[in-house]
Each structure stands twice: as C-alpha cells, then as structure tokens.
Amino acid sequence: MNTNTSDQAFADKVVAPETAVLRTESVSIYYGAFMAVRKVAMNIPRHKVTAFIGPSGCGKSTLLRCFNRLNDLIPGARVEGRITYNGIDLYGPKVDPVEVRRRIGMVFQKPNPFPKSIYDNIAFGARVNGIKCDMDELVERSLRQAALWDEVKDKLKESGLALSGGQQQRLCIARTVAIQPEVILMDEPCSALDPISTLRIEDLIQELKEQYTIVIVTHNMQQASRVADMTAFFNAEATDKGNRFGYLVEYDKTEKIFQNPQEESTQQYVSGRFG
Ligand SMILES: Nc1ncnc2c1ncn2[C@@H]1O[C@H](COP(=O)(O)OP(=O)(O)OP(=O)(O)O)[C@@H](O)[C@H]1O
C-alpha cells in the first residue's frame, strides 16, 4: 500500500491547496463498524475534471457521496478526518447539508428526471432552491449549457420521462446547472447510455469544466483518459478480519496515471489486467 497517498504534504504537491475546491485530510469513511475507505488525503482542483477509477467496491462512490454529504442520509455512515470545501469544514456544526448540496450538485448513474415536464424539471428545482429570476431564461440557459436546447425547445411542456436515456441524463445535468453549483459530482453518468450519448456527455463535460469543477466516477478507462485532467486510482485491500477497505493508490495528472504510473497496481489496472 502506498502510504504517500494518506500524507497531506504529498497531496499538496500533487495539487496546490490554493487551487483546490475540495480537500480531504486523512479521510476514512465507515458504514457502522465497517471501514469502507481508509485515510485519503487529496485535493480536487478548481475548474478541472477529476476522475475516480478503480475496481468495484474500492469506495469511489462512497467518497464522492461524502463530498456533498449524501452519505448523511445513510444510517450508520460516518466520516473521520476532515473534508473542506473552499477551506470550510464541510461537516462543521454550522454547515447546512442542504446548502452543501446546492453548491455541490450530483448527477447519478441512472438518469432520474422528475415525472414532470421538461420545463418543470428545471424550474422546480430552481424554485425549491430559492432562485428568483426570469424562469424562461433560466430554463433556456440551463438546457443550452447541457447541450439539449435544440432537441427540446419545441416540446418543453412534454414529460421529461419521454426523452431518450441520453437526453434524460442531459436534462438531469441541466437541472443541476440551473441551481448554479460550483462543483458537479457525477457517479458513472454514462454507464446506462449508448456510445453516442456517452460521447455527447463527454463533450459536455469538457464544456462544463470552464465554469464548474467536476468529479466523475467511471469504470470506463477510455472515458477517464478522454475527459479527466486528474485521475485518482483506488484499490481495495483485505483486513485481518477478511473485510476489504478502499484506499487511494495513486493520484496525478491523467496522462501520468495512464502512461507512466508510479505504482504497479495502477499500471495493471489501467492496462486492463485486473478489475
Ligand atoms: N449504504 C451502504 N451500507 C453499507 N455498506 C456500503 C454501503 N454503500 C457501500 N457500501 C460498501 O462500501 C464499500 C465501497 O462501496 P462503493 O459503492 O463506494 O464502491 P465503488 O468503488 O463505488 O464500487 P462500484 O464501482 O461497484 O460502484 C463496499 O464494500 C460496499 O459494499
């Protein structure tokens, strides 16, 4: 196990702390007594795409969910160590998790539009989050940002559920950007989509990073190499009790992870030899 990746000084060399939006300091994550993720120290840079890769069960989604406190909703889940967002302790006593989720949005594996019109999919979330503006303008701007406007502009009153899977996922991205977050977390956003829809979402991710910081979990190695500026490789290791905990093996520029990784296990994983 690479001990550097639990060391803050090392994390600060990979991504300078002043350029980081999110920062984990020796973060371990538990479900009850089970430690799912062990001692992660990493900085997520602003206006870049960071990919989390690694075999199933190594804790990628668990860590991602902690970035917007979605794990709070799972009984028994808890975080040890510190996660900061723009220098503020995300789990501090004065921090409102609802506000955290407004600033740090999430797009899930399976597109999950509301059973409402395309228009209301965007307007509803914006209203609930107290955004007061010209709603027509916000709907158009968000759909344009999600590269969906041209396909839906003539049917805004139709159900979001009537769209194709790829369109639904772009609608979910439009809904997320409408709330004007700073960070967008994506948990395998293309795994339920066909290759063409996948490429559209990947193009969209490239455009969105101009304005947002993106963290994406993906099992698709080519996707990570295509979209991510930084890549974190996680793996799982067995404990004496037979449990497996996830840990960060290596985190660096995507090019380095794919072409010249430091750790042998990273090399094996990115070349498809395990996982
Ligand atoms: N709600 C939960 N309650 C208890 N254990 C959980 C829960 N969610 C995840 N785990 C456990 O935490 C560990 C990490 O799971 P997680 O889903 O974060 O991994 P992952 O790397 O994202 O996997 P995958 O690539 O398969 O999605 C696994 O052992 C999993 O069984």
**Residues 186-195 pLDDT 10s:** 999 998 888 9
Q: Is 64 in contact with 215 (CB distance < 8 Å)?
A: yes
In the chain, the percentage of residues whose pLDDT exceeds 70 is 99
Interatomic CA distance for residues 154 and 133, integer angstroms = 22
- Which of 35, 52, 60, when mutated, tests ligand 1's pocket best, judged by the most ligand atoms within 8 Å of its CB? 60
Give me the interface pTM, i.e. the ipTM. Answer: 0.98
Ligand 1 pocket, residue 61 CB under 6 Å: yes
pLDDT one digit per residue (tens) for the chain, 275 residues: 666 777 888 899 999 999 999 999 999 999 999 999 999 999 999 999 999 999 999 999 999 999 999 999 999 999 999 999 999 999 999 999 999 999 999 999 999 999 999 999 999 989 988 888 999 999 999 999 998 999 999 999 999 999 999 999 999 999 999 999 999 999 999 988 889 989 989 999 999 999 999 999 999 999 999 999 999 999 999 877 778 899 999 999 999 999 999 999 999 999 988 76
Q: Establish whether residue 236 lines the binding site of ligand 1, counting it when its CB lies within 6 angstroms of any ligand atom.
A: no
CB-CB contact of 161 with 129 (8 Å): no
The answer to whether residues 161 and 173 touch, using CB atoms and an 8 Å cutoff, is no
Alpha-carbon distance of 30 to 79, in angstroms, equals: 6
CB burial of residue 105 (10 Å; 0-12, 13-18, 19+):
buried
Tell whether ligand 1 has an atom less than 6 A from the beta carbon of residue 181: no
143 C-alpha to ligand 1 centroid (Å):
32
| 87-139 pLDDT per residue, tens | 999 999 999 999 999 999 999 999 999 999 999 999 998 998 888 899 999 99
Q: H or E segment at 101? A: helix 97-103
Q: What is the largest CA-CA distance in the chain?
A: 60
**Pocket lining: 235 vs ligand 1, CB cutoff 6 Å:** no
- What pLDDT was estimated at residue 6? 75
The reported pLDDT for the residue numbered 1 is 60
Compute the distance from residue 62 Cα to the ligand 1 centre, in Å: 6
Fold of 3-270: Rossmann fold (3.40.50)
CA-proximal residue: ligand 1, atom 24 (nearest)? 56
Q: Evaluate: CB of 246 within 6 angstroms of ligand 1.
A: yes
Domain ranges for the chain: 3-270
d(CA 3, CA 186): 27
- Vertex 34, ends 184 and 8: CA angle to 5°? 55
Q: Give the DSSP letter of residue 32.
A: T
Helix (H) or strand (E) holding 77: strand 77-85
Beta bridge partners of 44: 22
What is the C-alpha separation between 271 and 71, in angstroms, rounded? 32
